[in-house]
Structure 1
Amino acid sequence: MVSAKRPPSPAAAGAAGALAARQLTALVVARATSCAGFFAVLPYLGLWLVDTQGLSGGSAGLVVGSSILANRAGAVLLIPLIHRLGLKASVVTGYVGAVTFFAVLGMGLRLAVLGWLVLAALVGLFLALATTAMKALVAALPAGQRLRGFSYLNMAVNAGSALGPVIGGQLLHWHASWLPLSAAVLHLAALAAVPALPGTWRRSQRPGPAAEGSGRRWLVRRRFVVFSLLACGTWVAYAQAVDVLPAYLGDTVDARDLGLVFTLNAVMVVALQVPMSWLSRRVLDAPRGGFGILWAAAGAVLAASVLLFAWGRSIGLGLVLAAMALFTLSELVWSPLYDAQVSERRGPLSLPAAYALAGVASGAAESVGAWLGTLLVVGRSGTGLLSPAAAPYWAAAALALLTSLAMAWDTRSSSAEPPNAHEGEGNDHDMDVSARA
């Protein structure tokens, strides 16, 4: 006789909870140590190449730029490899490559500029492979856990990017030749956490229809394109607060005090990301809530913070700190929400392809915003909110608000469309998509 199915015991429920906690811990450890390793080297790579390898400033800048470009946009070239290896194996491959080439960088070789450029680009490519695959792993979680997973990733990124420059700065002072080797060691720690990540090692053997071939993995739908383009406004505003701010405030706020401003950002993210994620999920699930309302609120706070940054030139550090607090509250909402929405709006795109293309769009928007902002603030006099140097911040605030309104409008106009996130995927990373787009 077959007994009736019983609900899970408290012990079983506790075991499931412990497994989820172990997976989240692995996500945080792997992503934080990887970011710490990358940012221990990246801010000082140009200086290290000039002082220890004898490169010119222009050549060192070219090497650093190659690593950044490969890291931000290189994942598009690696999508076939990610599909062939699977997500978890791609994370391992990415970290193994990072360990290898960081170690080669630290071997004391004497290379031409082209050799350093290739090594730095390979580091960026392998880290792009691991980062894209890890985002796809989180996106493959059940819909109710996806935003939480991306929130933990955002927390880990900020913790690692805050710790990395501290490690790199100390090593550059104590023993400069150890700088790349420290990144290799930190990526070994990230590699050790990979077995506990969510997901399986084996790829699904389930056959898909003929129409769901590899070509459809690159079929981009209007819904995904519109979202990616609209989000570019937010990334341009982000660039003014992160990339342009040191140049804008350079004459009025001491560089050491600016370090405190960015430390505040990192500390707030680590301390508040989890409770803010809980609040975001409540808003998403509320009868009158949803993605449009949440993004609009985050965009309004982002716009206010950007305007306060513009005013910081005339008022000083206290206002800049207040602006960074507001900016961080906004980032705690829209940054993980952006990653989660990439998954939900991808249509027939595979998960790795969706995150690779989204990374190209966001990286291009941030780069253009940083370039234009720096061009407009450097050498411009004036400290008032209406000074010419504040123009990029007014433009960024307007973009943040317009992006929020456009996102809310796009959500309402597409709410009647049937979900299509599973279409054409045909692998073991399919997921349930939340009805609230």
Structure 2
Amino acid sequence: MVSAKPPRATTKDEAGEDGRALTARQLTALVVARATSCAGFFAVLPYLGLWLVDSRGLSGADAGLVVGAAILANRAGGVLLVPLIHRLGLKASVGAGYLGAAVAFAVLGMGLTLPASGWLVLAASAGLSLAMATTALKAQVAAFAPDQRLRGFSYLNMAVNAGSAVGPVLGGFLLERHADALPLAAAALDLVALAAVPALPGAWRAGERPRAHAGGDGRGRGRWLPQRPFVVFSLLVCGTWVAYAQVFDVLPAYLGDSVNTRDLGLVFTLNAVLVVALQVPVSALSRRVLTRPRAGFGILCAAANVVLAAAVLLFAFGRSAGLGLLLGAMVLFTLSELVWSPLYDAQVAERRGALSTTAAYALAGVAWGAAESAGAWLGTLLAVRSSGPGALSPAAAPYWGAAALALLTGLVTSWGGRRKSDKPLSGQERNTHDVDVPARP
């Protein structure tokens, strides 16, 4: 664990709601907790169906249901658990989530003989527990000032990519050597994440203070009432997530036999390495852009989506081009992701209105997860059913469509970012990081 440096004077923009900036110790705890929990989940998830069929004797259909339950619970579970997170407090909820995931994975690895419904409950419990921890962790970071939020979410994005890269490698090794130890390894990694929780920001039982808002009394009755700016923002940036799905979820199916597995693994490894190496400096540059008078979220988001669109179009040529083009496309894709991924997370707190921070991140997570899932389903359907090596073949249609969506997202956010309102957003005093996404096109 890296120890914190001596405290220094902080500016208003650097200080959080409690008057402090994120310390080195807190940032280290964020990275350790997020990276190890992601590594544990992704060590199990890609191989869970195979493990259930080979080691536990489930049918393919039953194993598919169990895997689907784990994914759905992890994606949408935060919404179901918001009342519990409000009651426990953010830091305690992070700890409870990691503890619950460790227990669920440990029971999975105990060698029990269960019906398909039993495995489904255990897998869903692990997904729900991790969703609870992730939602509360994001709300903890969102409690800091805008500049510190973007910094914190940058470290979280770096940790997610590191964990999701290491996890499948660890899971594949264990599946070949000690298959029964696969869930136990995930449980051990969640215990490491749990050990980092005491160093996270905030007090154990501290809950989110109800937020005063125009038309409300500040007593928390609007915690579940998303307002139009938040809804528009959350739905608008779904275009980015659809484009993202074509790379991370559809690309293996699209490339098929055109690219061997080793080369495809190298392409995705490049993404993970670049995120870990470049996330912090790129986010520091993003923070400087956000503070410029003629820049801000709109310009930054537009630039990121233009680069994303270019990367997606290059991937469309992947069936007929060589490895070099795929690697170049992944570099562009990663540079885009380094900007928009932490930026969108930070903007959820900016645009939540009367929603509690916990509810805002849970609802945004459902919207973006649904967009990614829909994009992955449609993209895979078209890529698998269609044939043809060229970028103009029907199989490449998802990539052209995704590029158009990314460009449209960038265009609308850029236009909205130039329209500054004199009225403070969401009842807050305006700052240089606020964004005006238009309510109507």
Class of the TM-score when normalised by the shorter of the 2 chains: over 0.9
Residue deviations 1:245-284 (CA, integer Å, cap 9, x gap): 0000012000121111110000000000011001101111
* DSSP 3-state at the match of 1:157: helix
* Aligned counterpart, 2:96: 93
Superposed counterparts of 1:279-290, under 5 Å: 279-290=285-296
Partners of 1:37 and 1:187 within 8 A in 2: yes
Greater CA deviation, 383-392 or 234-243? 383-392
Q: 1:42 aligns with which of 26, 42, 45?
A: 45
| CA pair 205-354 structure 1, distance change in 2 beyond 3 A | closer
* DSSP 3-state at the match of 1:109: coil
How far off its partner does 1:391 sit? 0.6
Task: State the distance in 1 between where 2:108 and 2:431 align.
Answer: 43
| CA pair 421-108 structure 1, distance change in 2 beyond 3 A | farther
Task: State the distance in 1 between where 2:46 and 2:6 align.
Answer: 48
Is 1:297 matched with 2:303? yes
Superposed counterparts of 1:388-407, under 5 Å: 388-407=394-413
User: Structure 1 runs of 4+ off > 4 angstroms?
Assistant: 14-19, 204-210, 431-435
Partners of 1:142 and 1:432 within 8 A in 2: no
* DSSP 3-state at the match of 2:319: helix
* Aligned counterpart, 2:133: 130
Q: In structure 2, what residue type is equivalent to 1:436?
A: D
Is 1:258 matched with 2:264? yes
Q: 1:324 aligns with which of 330, 346, 353?
A: 330
Q: In structure 2, what residue type is equivalent to 1:329?
A: L
Partners of 1:342 and 1:354 within 8 A in 2: yes
* DSSP 3-state at the match of 1:292: helix
* DSSP 3-state at the match of 2:388: coil
Residue deviations 1:79-117 (CA, integer Å, cap 9, x gap): 100100010000000001001110000000111111111
* Aligned counterpart, 2:203: 200
Is 1:354 matched with 2:360? yes
Task: State the distance in 1 between where 2:114 and 2:24 align.
Answer: 45
Partners of 1:313 and 1:383 within 8 A in 2: yes
Task: State the distance in 1 between where 2:311 and 2:421 align.
Answer: 30
* Aligned counterpart, 2:156: 153
Greater helix percent: which structure? 1
How far off its partner does 1:19 sit? 7.1
Superposed counterparts of 1:209-224, under 5 Å: 211-224=217-230
* DSSP 3-state at the match of 2:106: helix
Task: Structure 2: give runs of 5+ residues left out of the alignment.
Answer: 436-441
Partners of 2:211 and 2:220 within 8 A in 1: no
Task: State the distance in 2 between where 1:365 and 1:152 align.
Answer: 24
Residue deviations 1:157-216 (CA, integer Å, cap 9, x gap): 000000001111111111100000000000000000011111122326978888333431
Q: 1:32 aligns with which of 31, 35, 50?
A: 35
Partners of 2:43 and 2:172 within 8 A in 1: yes
Partners of 2:211 and 2:354 within 8 A in 1: no
Task: State the distance in 1 between where 2:80 and 2:210 align.
Answer: 25
Task: State the distance in 2 between where 1:110 and 1:166 align.
Answer: 27
Is 1:167 matched with 2:165? no
Task: State the distance in 2 between where 1:215 and 1:267 align.
Answer: 44
* Aligned counterpart, 1:275: 281
How far off its partner does 1:385 sit? 1.7
Task: State the distance in 2 between where 1:165 and 1:52 align.
Answer: 18
| CA pair 421-346 structure 1, distance change in 2 beyond 3 A | farther
Task: State the distance in 2 between where 1:116 and 1:106 align.
Answer: 11
Count of paired positions: 420
Partners of 2:101 and 2:129 within 8 A in 1: yes
* Aligned counterpart, 1:379: 385
Task: State the distance in 2 between where 1:231 and 1:205 align.
Answer: 26
Is 1:186 matched with 2:192? no
* Aligned counterpart, 1:75: 78
How far off its partner does 1:13 sit? 2.4
Task: State the distance in 1 between where 2:378 and 2:158 align.
Answer: 28
Q: In structure 2, what residue type is equivalent to 1:380?
A: S
Task: State the distance in 2 between where 1:327 and 1:275 align.
Answer: 17
Partners of 1:248 and 1:378 within 8 A in 2: yes
Q: In structure 1, what residue type is equivalent to 2:335?
A: L
| CA pair 18-151 structure 1, distance change in 2 beyond 3 A | closer
Residue deviations 1:355-404 (CA, integer Å, cap 9, x gap): 00000000000000000000101032211121111111000000000011
TM-score by length of 1: 0.92
Task: State the distance in 1 between where 2:310 and 2:150 align.
Answer: 25
Task: State the distance in 2 between where 1:371 and 1:394 align.
Answer: 16
How far off its partner does 1:45 sit? 0.3
Task: State the distance in 2 between where 1:349 and 1:169 align.
Answer: 41
How far off its partner does 1:141 sit? 1.2
* Aligned counterpart, 1:115: 118
Partners of 1:344 and 1:434 within 8 A in 2: no
* Aligned counterpart, 2:244: 238
Task: State the distance in 2 between where 1:256 and 1:168 align.
Answer: 17
* Aligned counterpart, 1:13: 8
Identity %: 72
| CA pair 199-383 structure 1, distance change in 2 beyond 3 A | same
Task: State the distance in 1 between where 2:346 and 2:21 align.
Answer: 24
Task: State the distance in 2 between where 1:205 and 1:392 align.
Answer: 41
How far off its partner does 1:40 sit? 0.5
Task: Structure 1: give runs of 5+ residues left out of the alignment.
Answer: 1-9, 423-430
Task: State the distance in 2 between where 1:90 and 1:337 align.
Answer: 24
Partners of 1:252 and 1:316 within 8 A in 2: no
How far off its partner does 1:432 sit? 8.6
Task: State the distance in 2 between where 1:110 and 1:421 align.
Answer: 55
* Aligned counterpart, 1:426: none
Residue deviations 1:311-347 (CA, integer Å, cap 9, x gap): 1111122111110110000000000000001110000
| CA pair 379-251 structure 1, distance change in 2 beyond 3 A | farther
How far off its partner does 1:351 sit? 0.5
* Aligned counterpart, 1:7: none
TM-score by length of 2: 0.91
* DSSP 3-state at the match of 1:212: coil
Quote the RMSD (CA, aligned, Å): 2.1
Q: In structure 2, what residue type is equivalent to 1:374?
A: T
